[in-house]
Amino acid sequence: MASQATKMNMLQGSLWDKILIVALPFALTGMMQQFFNALDIAMLGQFVGKEAMAAVGSNSSVLATTLSLFIGISLGANVIIASFIGKKDMASVHKSVHTAILVAVLCGVGMTLLGEAVTNTLLDFLAVPGEIRHMAEMYLRIYFLGLPVIFLYNFESAIFRSQGDTRTPLYCLITGGVIKAGLNLFFILQLGMSAEGVAIGTIVANMISSGLLFYFLRRSHTEIRVRLHEFAIDKVLLVQILKVGLPAGLQNMVFCLSNLCIQSAINSLGPDVMAASAAAFNVEIFTYFIINAFGQVCTTFTSQNYGARLLSRCKRVFVLCLAIDSGVAIVGGVLTIVFAVPLLSLFNTDATVLSLGYTRLFYIQAFCLVEVVIEIISGAMRGYGNSLIPAVITLFGICGTRVTWVYTIFTGDPTFACLMMVFPVSWGVTAVVLAGAYRWFLWHLPMWKHA
């Protein structure tokens, strides 16, 4: 499977078909990952109860915030490795791979220790109701134990993507996910476990997926091959990875940190709203993964072509990614709204939960096209090596708008519908500012006018 990466030539030939070849498996990877997460919620909702479902759902923003920073840093590894591939600097590719893997493991261990130390503080901040507090704490503590292998999987996936291989991470994810589903049934139905059971299954699944990716990296016949005796952190390359990856991670965190504030407001509305929001999130996220996939692919293709100074192809990458992503997002958003009730019923059939879940889905899916603009522009700028501009704009446009909304507009009208309106509003503000900043950035990009 790993050898498939050598077949993707991003520097020559047509682009639209290659973009689809790379983007679709990547989108499917995210969708499958979320499918297995959604399966956790569905099993708890069907076999345990909506309290257990709400307990796991209440942690979604915390976990997304934790993972988003390091997924962003892994994107930095993707950009740097892809750029070196474009420059045909294979020695630097080799060093970057070993540096990235070590960083993943070390950061995972550090975040596990930090997460265990602040679990109760996080639950207090989220105002998790007392009736589900114990289950929520067990789930969160067990999940934190698996962060090293979760981080490792994401960094390994970024390494494969830098060469255009999005299939190998998908195959490894599916393998681990199928085993996870079986473990969940065993833990819940046979052992009578609740939230802690699906948390254990998650750790085992990620151990399998990351272990398989490591195996293929060890057996690769390309420059991404891993050799145990050559593991070392190259400080110069680490700085380059962090220069791109850290702002990207902070941009991702901004979304998630603002969502922590929103989750706290959701929790204040009671268990029914919490359960409905958790169910809707696990439906809407599938559309997001498709949108995000083209943003990530835009980054990789732009990185390689910019490294090779093929700026005219960079322009074409941007236009094609924006056009294709917009079309897919429109179709996905419409289908999600039309089939909202049947999809939500997979998690819980309570009438109140279904009604509230539909409200969230409408506000998210009806405006997902605006999110496409944010993802593609951010992806392109990261491909050129600048993650700081989209990160700063996102900080003020997304986080600033959402926090302000929760503590002003929502306080005056504390309803679920009012709270959900913050998503399209914050996207709109951010997209307008980001589009202007992108035009300015291109105008000042070296060699752009002559491309």
pLDDT tens readout for residues 12-61: 888 988 999 988 898 888 888 777 877 777 788 777 877 787 778 777 76
* Residue whose token pair is 């399966």: 39
Q: What angle do CA 73, 76, 77 make, to 5 degrees?
A: 100
Closest listed residue to residue 129, CA positions, set 67, 40, 50: 50
Residue 396 has a CB neighbour count (10 Å cut-off) of 13
Percentage of residues in the chain having pLDDT higher than 90: 41
Separation CA 307–CA 87 (nearest Å): 5
Structure tokens given for 359: 């409200």
Q: What would the pLDDT profile of 128-144 be if each residue is shown by its tens digit?
A: 888 888 888 888 999 99
Separation CA 312–CA 304 (nearest Å): 13
Q: Are 384 and 309 in contact (CB under 8 A)?
A: no
Cα 410 to chain centroid, rounded: 27
Q: Are 394 and 430 in contact (CB under 8 A)?
A: yes
Give the model's confidence band at 307: pLDDT under 50 very low, under 70 low, under 90 confident, else very high.
confident
Separation CA 40–CA 281 (nearest Å): 13
> How far is CA 224 from each of CA 5, 38, 160, rounded to the nearest angstrom?
10, 33, 8
Separation CA 116–CA 309 (nearest Å): 46
Can you give the pLDDT at residue 144? 92
At residue 11, the 3 state secondary structure works out as coil
pLDDT > 80? residue 8: no
Across all residues in the chain, what is the average pLDDT?
87
Residue 331 has a CB neighbour count (10 Å cut-off) of 12
CB contact set of 48 (below 8 Å; sequence gap of 6+): 188, 194
Separation CA 218–CA 170 (nearest Å): 18
Can you give the pLDDT at residue 447? 60
Q: Give pairs for 431-438: CB < 8 Å, separation 24+.
A: 431/370, 431/373, 431/374, 433/393, 433/396, 433/397, 434/373, 434/374, 434/377, 434/378, 434/390, 434/393, 434/394, 434/397, 435/373, 435/377, 437/389, 437/390, 437/393, 438/377, 438/380, 438/381
Q: What is the mean pLDDT of residues 65-78?
A: 83
Closest listed residue to residue 315, CA positions, set 329, 305, 325, 324: 305
Amino acid at 73: I
User: The pTM is what?
Assistant: 0.77
Q: What would the pLDDT profile of 338-358 be if each residue is shown by its tens digit?
A: 999 999 998 888 888 899 999
pLDDT > 60? residue 451: no
Q: What would the pLDDT profile of 222-243 be if each residue is shown by its tens digit?
A: 888 888 888 889 999 999 999 8
Amino acid at 148: P
Separation CA 416–CA 359 (nearest Å): 8
